[in-house]
Structure formats: structure tokens, C-alpha cells
A and B are shown apart, each in its own frame.
Chain A
Amino acid sequence: MRTIPVENDLSGLAALVRSWTVEVAGVDGEGRGSGILWHPNGLIVTNAHVVARTTRQRIKLADGREAEGKLLLRDDRRDIALIQSGISGAPDLPLGNPQALAPGALVLALGHPWGVANAMSLGVVHGVSLDRRGFPRYIAADVRLAPGNSGGPLVDATGRLVGVNAMIVGGLGVAIPVNVVQRVVREASQSGALPFPEAFAA
């Protein structure tokens, strides 16, 4: 397990997660939400429903940097979109294991609910739903989410990404687990949809 230097408080953890959380907005003003800086080469992950029908985005980091983004792929079924941005030098994204999430484990959601930038909410894992092969299908979490959180990260208590916040169902936050995102990225690199396919060969 990689160790991540975090302070023993939530604001320290939030600052760490904020370094790879972005704001996504369509250039025409449509399609607003959050995103995750997935790779140092500028690849961004968000929800398909966040980008809606727009193909060009403005990407904003917490430190104020801005860049243009271009939609590479939109997977409506899995509600994942991949955007190529001009952001370079992003920190390595620490990935967690959704399969290891037990009900009651702490999770944090970062994002931009109702346009409030870089907001954080805290809760616990409600349950992890598995698909027929035993892989996590979605993560239900007892965290308060709002429109604008979509596409943003759900992280575990050490700040590792475990899911992409996507929906609110019956008051619970529902996130797409990181293993599904990895599959989307892998398939995209194999099909030639990514400009740096060698970066994702795994």
C-alpha cells in the first residue's frame, strides 16, 4: 500500500484531494460539474451527464489555473466521460480499492455543489453493490451531495480515489467505482480514442 502524507485532519485531506479535483464547464455555458485529473498528461474523468452535449470545456483547478478541454469519449451507459485537457504536471492520482470498502468506513466527497467551489462532505459507506462477476457496480454512501458534485471524487479516509460521484438516490450518494473508470480508460486506449495510448497500457 502506498503511504500518502496527510495531516490528521479533514482539511488536510481535502487540500490533498483538491489538488486533482477540477471544475468542468462547457464553453457554451452548458454542462457544469466536477472532474478528476486522472493522469499527469492531462486526461480528465467526469460523468457523461456533466458534459451533456458539449464537446469543448473550460477546466479550472483549485489553484486558479485554467485550461481548455476537448471531449474524447462519452460512455452514457456507464455515465463516464473522458476529456483531454492542457493541464500538465498534475500529481499522481492515488487509487483505492472499492472492493475493500466495508459499510461504516469513512468516505469524503469533493466537488462544486450548487456552484460552491471545492466543497467537502463527509459520510460513511452505506453499501457496495456488486455485479454478477463480483466486481463493484456502484458505491452507495451516506454523504450529502447536490448538483455540481457530479463527476467529482469520492475518496477513502487516506485520500485515495474510490469512486466518481454520479447520482443521489433516496438521499444517498451513489458513485461509480474506480474499477469501472479504469475499464473505460483501458477500453478507450485499446480502441485508439486516447491521444497517449501508451500511457494507459496496463
Chain B
Amino acid sequence: MSAPRTAVLALGDDALVLSHRLGEWAGNAPVLEEEVALANIALDLLGQARTLLSMAGDEDELAYLREERAFTNVQLVEQPNGDFAHTIARQLYFSTYQELLYERLADGGTGDTELTALAAKAVKEVAYHRDHAEHWTLRLGDGTEVSHSRMRDALDGLWRYTGELFRPVEGLDVDWAGLDEEWARRITTVLERATLTVPGGPRSSPWAAGAGRQGVHTEPFGRMLAEMQHLHRSHPGASW
């Protein structure tokens, strides 16, 4: 049985787009160790993206030749890196979600063996990403006045993109409401330990419509795609 195309594209696009965003830190991270850490996380995600997109078609065509509206990643992953706290908040929200989702898929939530195998492997990598994000959330939240306020602003700013994570993805047999509950429980635990509070605003924007999974993206995504696809489109078929 082959994986439902909508599902592998959605998960593959999440991994690809976040990988690209994290890659933007290369040469810009606050310390060398973080530069290496973010690049390694990006590499794990890129490996997942390649496997997932290859289940749906040609990985290069899908990554480099689709238009913005054809990408079905959640809007959270396309948000710009912002300051380091924003990147960590995005990592915390997303890796917690991704770990919980992959755990369920590894348990055979799709009945698809290829996707099950990928999820079983990737969940271990993502657990480490989540661990990394949690450590930084604790350090920034329970750090200085400045780091605390930056972390709080980042968590608040990205909160509106977290509702979308739990909209059902066609082809994945997952208890989305249960996933959401577990996610909220884990995020609350981490934020409380970090002396932060769970943001209170709405978890989706009124203008978001069907949002990322339906191909509706936020403004920064177009610019990111232009940069990501430019080389491939300018030199089709080039290799080295």
C-alpha cells in the first residue's frame, strides 16, 4: 500500500520548509555550537523531507518547481527566524507536535509501511530536536530579564499558528483532538518550568482560512521560496 499523497506532501513540506529556515542560521547563529546544532537539525529535517517527497514523486521537482500555492506546509514552519528566541519558540511548538505525530504514525496510524518506517526512524531524531528546544526555552525563560521577555514575545507571536497543527490531514488516521491535548499538556509543563506562561490569544487568525494545508501562506513564504528555488530554476538540470 502506498502512502496517501496529500499526507506525505504535507509532512514533507513541513520538514523541507523548516529545514530551509533553520539553514538560514548558517553563518548567523549566536554561538558556534548553536550554528552546528541548528544545521544538524536542518539536516535531519531535510533527510525526512527527501524521503517523504520521494514517496509523492520526484523530490527535486516537488521542492524546486512547485508554486507557492501548491505547498501544503503549516504556516508555523514558514515564519521567519526572527531573533534566536523566535527560532526556539518555533522549534518548541513544532518539534513537540512532530514528535507526537510521528509516534502515532510509527504505531501504524496510516497502515502504510513506507510512511510507518520513516516515522519510526524520524521520531528518534525529532525527540532530540524537542529536547534541544526545551533546554533553550528553560535557559531563555529562566534567564535574564531580557531573555525572558524575548522568549515571551516569541511564544506570543507564534501562538496564532499553533491551531493549524491539529487540523486533520487527509490520509492520516490520527486522533487530532487527542494530539492537541497532549501537545498543550507538554508545552504547558515546559513553559511553567521556564517561568513563562502559556499565551492566551487565539490559536488561528481569522484571515487564515484553510491556511497552509490548503496552500494559503503568509507573506514571508514567497520570498523564502524565491530564494530556495532560484538556483534550480535559473539552471534547470544543473549538477556538480
Q: Are the chains A and B members of one assembly?
A: no
| A residues apposed to B, CB below 8 Å | none
| B residues apposed to A, CB below 8 Å | none
